[in-house]
Amino acid sequence: MSDVRPAPFRLRSLLAGIVPTGRADTGVADRLLTSFHETERTGLMLASVVRAVIIVALVLVFAVTGSFVGDGYGFLMAMPLGLALIGLAQFETARRWPHLGWPKYVFIALDCAYLAFVLIARHAFAADLPPVTLAVKEGALLFFVAFLVHGAFSYSPRFIVWTGFCITVAWGAVVMAAASEPGAFFTLGAGSAEDMWRRYGDPLYVPVIKIVYDYIVIALLTAGLAVAVWRSRQLVLAAAVSERARANLARHFSPKVVDVLSAREHPFGEVRRQAAAVLFADIRGFTTRCETMAPEEAMAFLRDFHARMEVVIFEHGGTLDKILGDGLLAVFGVPDLGKGDAGDALACGYAMIEAVAAWNAERAGSGVADVEIGVGLHYGFVMLGDVGSERLMNFTVVGDTVNVASRLQSLSKELGTRLVASQALVSAVKDEMRKEGALLDDLKFVGAKHLRGRETETVVYAFDGASTGAAGRLEVA
């Protein structure tokens, strides 16, 4: 059974301050914690193998250079191998049961207990070894400190604190065993330098001040490593959530706009009402075309189409609001108003038609039918913001302007033209005074048309896909 639990409140609070929508995405938090669990498992497996290799290498070096003989030699050769075996057992456990979280706590406690035992009880196996007081005095604590380094591979502050606790208990047992050695003695005062060095040379002397320093070192190393690992986790979490937010932005905006929005704490701000140009585009006859295409071929066709249209939209500063099967919705002036949103939308509509014509030229040699699209353009007020639930949140625009743009796209098929734009969009282009002639010369006045679902008629203009200037001058109603 997995020990990966829902993200704690503190982590969710952190995520609440990072996620662009201002909400704590619990799914992201849980997936990141699961990822940390897997990273911790593989890190400890790596550490187990590395330490086993190092220990075996040290044993080989000691076998060649060691000065002990007899039982002491055999004991010192066998002692490190026990630690290597514990490490390999931890590796095998993590490999066989990857979802178990508790074994690592058991194994580090076993490491500390084993090392404390061999330091305390070594005289029972080899009488020619020095007393345990000498181990306390000459730095055997460093062997325990190595377990803290091992624990850092887990990326778990809690595990490092547990490791520090196990070291504290185990080292306390070693110190108590040293203090209980027959003939062992210690002093609290420093005395003269001569007395200090004389005492320190006695194998049975236990320096109290060194033991105090040992515990200070253990506490500081444990706290420092735990804080460092905790900080690293927070940075990884923040980076992961930030990258996820950036990826979501990249679905809708050009790379340049993504760079600007990703630098904001709340890219879209609050739900609000603002003017925008809305573009609907749709492939004509796609349902009929699908009847002669395999599902894989149809999917590849749609991906190719959407990829080409995405490039055109981003080149004109638009936002790809959503993909609608064989169509798409793009918005200009979102999330920030521009100086030429209506003109950008109209220019994008022209460019999309040209891009499809170029695509047809590429496909001409394949013997497949040409692709035709219809584009509808309208300008007006929209509501923009996040829509959906906590589990599935999406930035989008809604309102009557969006509905009218969709109806204009449908009207383009009825009129037999490539693009239909409303009077509101044409007026907005004229107001912007931005490349007015070049943009509006390609439009042809159609007149008032009744759109499905609307009581009042809408004045529209059309573009039939001919080259610039062939559609006639703009007629203002």
Across the chain, mean pLDDT equals 76
Band (pLDDT 50/70/90 cuts) for residue 465 is low
In this predicted structure, what is the pLDDT of residue 35? 64
Q: What are the DSSP calls for 45-84, one per residue? A: HHHHHHHHHHHHHHHHHHHHH----HHHHHHHHHHHHHHH
In this predicted structure, what is the pLDDT of residue 282? 92
Band (pLDDT 50/70/90 cuts) for residue 9 is very low
Q: What are the DSSP calls for 176-225, one per residue? A: HHHHTSTT-B--SS---HHHHHHHHTSTTB--HHHHHHHHHHHHHHHHHH
CA distances from 129 to 34, 121, 201, 235, 255 (A): 47, 11, 17, 48, 69
Pairing between β-strand 272-283 and β-strand 319-324 as defined by DSSP bridges:
unpaired
Closest CA to 90 of 166, 151, 157, 174: 151
Instruction: Render pLDDT for 94-108 as a digit per residue (tens, 0 to 9).
Output: 788 877 878 888 988
Instruction: Render pLDDT for 128-168 as a digit per residue (tens, 0 to 9).
Output: 667 788 778 777 888 888 888 877 777 788 889 999 999 99
Half-sphere exposure of 36 (CA within 13 A, CB side): 27
**CB-based contacts of 170, cutoff 8 Å, min separation 6:** 112, 113, 115, 116, 144
CB 254 within 8 A of CB 317: yes
What is the rounded CA–CA span in Å between residue 430 and residue 440? 8
Q: Determine if the peptide bond prior to 207 is cis (ω within 30°).
A: no
What is the rounded CA–CA span in Å between residue 456 and residue 134? 99
In this predicted structure, what is the pLDDT of residue 466? 45
Q: Which two tokens stand for residue 145?
A: 């400190």
* DSSP code, position 366: G
Instruction: Render pLDDT for 422-459 as a digit per residue (tens, 0 to 9).
Output: 999 999 998 886 555 578 888 899 999 988 888 888 89
- Domain ranges, ordered by start, for the chain: 9-248, 255-463
* DSSP code, position 451: P
Question: In the chain, what is the greatest distance between 2 CA atoms, to the nearest angstrom?
Answer: 113
Residue 345 CA to chain centroid, in angstroms?
34
Query: Span 159-183, mean pLDDT?
Result: 90
Given a cut of 90, whether residue 170 has pLDDT beyond it is: yes
Fold of the domain built from segment(s) 255-463: Alpha-Beta Plaits (3.30.70)
Instruction: Render pLDDT for 23-60 as a digit per residue (tens, 0 to 9).
Output: 444 555 566 666 666 667 777 777 777 766 766 676 66
Closest CA to 28 of 228, 235, 243, 227: 243
What is the rounded CA–CA span in Å between residue 354 and residue 470? 15
CB 260 within 8 A of CB 326: no
In this predicted structure, what is the pLDDT of residue 17? 34
In this predicted structure, what is the pLDDT of residue 467? 37
Q: What proportion of the chain, given as a percentage, has pLDDT over 70? A: 69
In this predicted structure, what is the pLDDT of residue 461? 93
Q: For 60-69, 275-284, 447-456, which range has the lowest pLDDT when averaged over its residues?
A: 60-69
Instruction: Render pLDDT for 301-310 as a digit per residue (tens, 0 to 9).
Output: 898 998 899 8
Given a cut of 60, whether residue 413 has pLDDT beyond it is: yes
In this predicted structure, what is the pLDDT of residue 86? 82
In this predicted structure, what is the pLDDT of residue 356? 93
In this predicted structure, what is the pLDDT of residue 404? 92
Instruction: Render pLDDT for 381-396 as a digit per residue (tens, 0 to 9).
Output: 988 766 655 555 566 7
Considering the entire predicted model, what is its pTM?
Answer: 0.52
